[in-house]
């Protein structure tokens, strides 16, 4: 198969982890006889420095003609520490999602058995947890009207959903549930928010088209609690942009670390694949970031955008193999991890590539 993949390393550890994600894709191409070509484009802080635009036109036009996108992360302490700055790295990511119509963000929460003890949650609560989040990605308070008034003494962000936005992601979630454990938990705040009442109404309607799928509705506050109390009770979780952002960072603790969670952003055009984590300023440049979220994002890319199931599975098996052999980056290590099994970012990439060769 001949495909073009555009890499957007972005900021901070985004650069470090996408290097490993790309190497894994190159290895897959070599082992399975594909021809993947790669190009790069700028987004985030670096793009602002060069062009004063977090998503330059040149980047956007490259993205519109590529077959798939592997994205790292954006964000920089300069902006996090100065809320008055008007041009910000995260705007590049949001604009990219909107421009490319990437309205469905799939965030699988997969606990590798080998990491059962890496989490701060008790193993007997965690074992077997397997959740697929559908986070709506181009609506909600992220994209509603925002502004300031009253001489900068008042600020607002409009939380807004349109029926069609809820319908299209709900269909995706119900379809996915049909080939899983046939349960959708829709999360909202319908006891307070009008936009959530529309959300619940539309999800109830869509649910009628999927009689084989059980639907339940939970409020965001209690869902946040139940996620940790009994993660196995969730199968597919369907939720809005803001609630999905927060709940999936929480759910990363079910998988052991932010460094383990991959995601796919899909819509009607090209697919974008990225870790759920950010640019992690606290560890940038130390070479210790866990690249597995990016590597697992590469697996989602092969599966969803290219339909290469065998190749996608090979990556997951390689990750399992390396974890089973006891190798860990610092975020997933525990007191029992021997010193000689502690890996930096590049060493983890090396081992996955080596493991891929061994199993194919
Ligand atoms: P973060 O996800 O960057 O980091 C949260 C914590 O998790 C940190 O302690 C970090 O060291 C750790 N962590 C994250 N990824 C890791 C990995 N691969 N391996 C090991 N540890 C990892 O969130 P934050 O600190 O709140 O945000 C930092 C910046 O990233 C901000 O500017 C924020 O806006 C941005 N951000 C971007 C994205 C994105 O581009 N998709 C997502 C979230 C945050
Ligand atoms: C994510 C991030 C982004 C979001 C930010 C950086 C805009 O937290 O991808 O989860 O809130 O969607
Ligand atoms: Mn987030």
ipTM of the complex: 0.99
- Shared-domain flag, residues 271 and 345: yes
**How many structural domains compose the chain?**
2
- Shared-domain flag, residues 271 and 329: yes
- Shared-domain flag, residues 180 and 229: yes
- Shared-domain flag, residues 51 and 82: yes
- Shared-domain flag, residues 73 and 152: no
- Shared-domain flag, residues 196 and 289: no
Low-confidence ranges of the chain (pLDDT < 50): none
Q: Is the CB of 331 under 6 A from ligand 1?
A: yes
Active site residue 40: no
Q: What is the CATH number of the domain that holds 325?
A: 3.40.718.10
Tell me the per-residue pLDDT of 122-138, one tens digit each, with 9 for 90 and over. 999 999 999 999 999 99
pLDDT for res 106:
98
Last residue of some domain: 222, 255, 288? 255
- Shared-domain flag, residues 276 and 240: no
Angle value at C-alpha 338, between 334 and 344, nearest 5 degrees? 80
Last residue of some domain: 255, 281, 301? 255
Q: Is the CB of 355 under 6 A from ligand 1?
A: no
**Dihedral (C-alpha) 134, 101, 190, 131: value to the nearest 10 degrees?**
0
Instruction: Quote the CA–CA distance of 90 and 97 in Å, as a whole number.
Output: 11
- Shared-domain flag, residues 39 and 103: yes
Q: Is the CB of 305 under 6 A from ligand 1?
A: no
Query: 58 and 262 in contact (C-beta within 8 Å)?
Result: no
- Shared-domain flag, residues 49 and 98: yes
Last residue of some domain: 221, 255, 289? 255
- Shared-domain flag, residues 274 and 163: no
Tell me the per-residue pLDDT of 16-64, one tens digit each, with 9 for 90 and over. 999 999 999 999 999 999 999 999 999 999 999 999 999 999 999 999 9
- Domain hosting 180: range is 119-255
* Residue 183 CB-half CA count within 13 A: 12
- Shared-domain flag, residues 239 and 329: no
Q: If you take atom 12 of ligand 2, which residue's CA is the nearest one?
A: 245
Please name which ligand lies nearest the alpha carbon of 80: 1
Q: If you take atom 9 of ligand 2, which residue's CA is the nearest one?
A: 276
């Amino acid at each position: 198969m001949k495909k073009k993949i555009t890499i957007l390393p972005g900021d901070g550890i985004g650069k470090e982890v996408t290097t490993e994600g790309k190497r894994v894709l190159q290895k897959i191409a070599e082992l399975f006889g594909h021809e993947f070509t790669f190009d790069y484009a700028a987004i985030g802080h670096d793009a602002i420095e060069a062009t004063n635009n977090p998503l330059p036109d040149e980047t956007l036009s490259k993205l519109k003609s590529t077959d798939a996108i592997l994205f790292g992360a954006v964000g920089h302490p300069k902006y996090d520490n100065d809320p008055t700055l008007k041009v910000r790295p995260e705007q590049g990511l949001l604009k990219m999602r909107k421009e490319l119509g990437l309205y469905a963000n799939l965030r699988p929460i997969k606990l590798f058995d080998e990491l059962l003890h890496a989490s701060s949650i008790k193993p007997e609560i965690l074992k077997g947890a397997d959740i697929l989040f559908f986070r709506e990605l181009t609506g909600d308070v992220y994209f509603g009207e925002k502004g300031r008034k009253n001489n900068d003494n008042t600020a607002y962000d409009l939380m807004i959903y349109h029926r069609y936005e809820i319908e299209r992601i709900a269909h995706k979630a119900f379809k996915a549930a049909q080939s899983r454990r046939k349960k959708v938990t829709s999360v909202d705040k319908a006891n307070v928010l009008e936009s959530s009442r529309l959300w619940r109404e539309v999800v109830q309607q869509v649910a009628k088209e999927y009689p084989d799928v059980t639907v339940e509705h939970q409020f965001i506050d209690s869902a946040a609690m139940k996620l940790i109390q009994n993660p196995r009770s969730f199968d597919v979780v369907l939720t809005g942009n803001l609630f999905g952002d927060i709940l999936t960072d929480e759910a990363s603790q079910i998988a052991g670390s932010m460094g383990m969670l991959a995601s796919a952003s899909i819509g009607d055009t090209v697919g974008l694949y990225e870790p759920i984590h950010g640019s992690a300023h606290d560890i940038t440049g130390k070479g210790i970031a866990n690249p597995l979220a990016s590597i697992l994002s590469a697996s989602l890319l092969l599966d969803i955008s290219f339909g290469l199931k065998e190749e996608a599975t090979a990556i997951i098996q390689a990750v399992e193999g390396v974890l089973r052999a006891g190798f860990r980056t610092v975020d997933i290590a525990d007191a029992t991890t021997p010193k000689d099994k502690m890996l930096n970012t590049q060493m983890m990439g090396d081992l996955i590539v080596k493991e891929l060769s061994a199993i194919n």
